[in-house]
Structure 1
Amino acid sequence: MRWLGRSDTGLFATRTLSGHLLRGAAAFALLYHAIAQQQAHPGWALVAGLGALVVLRGCPMCWTIGLVETVGARWRRGTPVNEP
């Protein structure tokens, strides 16, 4: 899974934009599950919330900074944003 790995250019950047967006979608799904299930299954909600933080590599702001770094790295190299 090279396209989900960390980029060499930024602290929070991912190698590809599609990999970064996939991480964001997975974290959103985990956060949604954590909020929806907090009354019925608080233990699983906590696990899902912690899983979202791991997938985001920190807080949602860290993920957003990584998104900017990923797009910026592609723009500086002159390659299209959605190519590896």
Structure 2
Amino acid sequence: MGSGSFASASLSRHLLRGAVGFGGLAGAVLLFPALGWASLLLVPVGLLALRGCPMCWTLGLVQTLSMGRLRRSCTDQGCELARADTAPEPAAAPERTPAPERTPAPEPAAVFERRGGR
């Protein structure tokens, strides 16, 4: 699970996080008539469990389900998704040639003198 990943280590852990998160958000709304403003203390709990928002949790669910099942392989023609058990190993990246050296820019005073300045 690299940076930018919302996936959990296992599906059961992700579903538990979803139950706590959505339960906290629903509890905050449903318990408001009985507990008043104190019920809103469940909102941060729900958002923390969902890692920010319900969409983040949903994205994490998709990532958790596909983890280890898909492999992306990229070539010069583009990228493809394939099943991990049938996908070819990614090819080694070609070596890059060094960029040509640039000539240094002229000093500002030399440019000013060529244009007829003082």
Normalising by structure 1, we get a TM-score of 0.72
Does residue 17 of structure 1 match 2:27? no
Does residue 75 of structure 1 match 2:62? no
Which structure has the greater CA radius of gyration? 2
Matched residue pairs, number? 72
RMSD of aligned Cα (Å): 1.9
Normalising by structure 2, we get a TM-score of 0.53
- Runs of 5+ consecutive residues of structure 2 not aligned to the other structure: 71-83, 86-118
- Aligned-pair identity (%): 42
1:27 and 1:53 in contact (8 A); partners too = yes
Question: Which is strand-richer, 1 or 2?
Answer: 2
Cα deviation 1:20-43 (Å, max 9, x = unaligned) = 001001112212211111133233
CA distance in 2, matches of 1:44, 1:19: 28
Question: Counterpart of 1:52 in structure 2: which amino acid?
Answer: G
- Runs of 5+ consecutive residues of structure 1 not aligned to the other structure: 1-6, 79-84
Aligned match of 1:54: 48
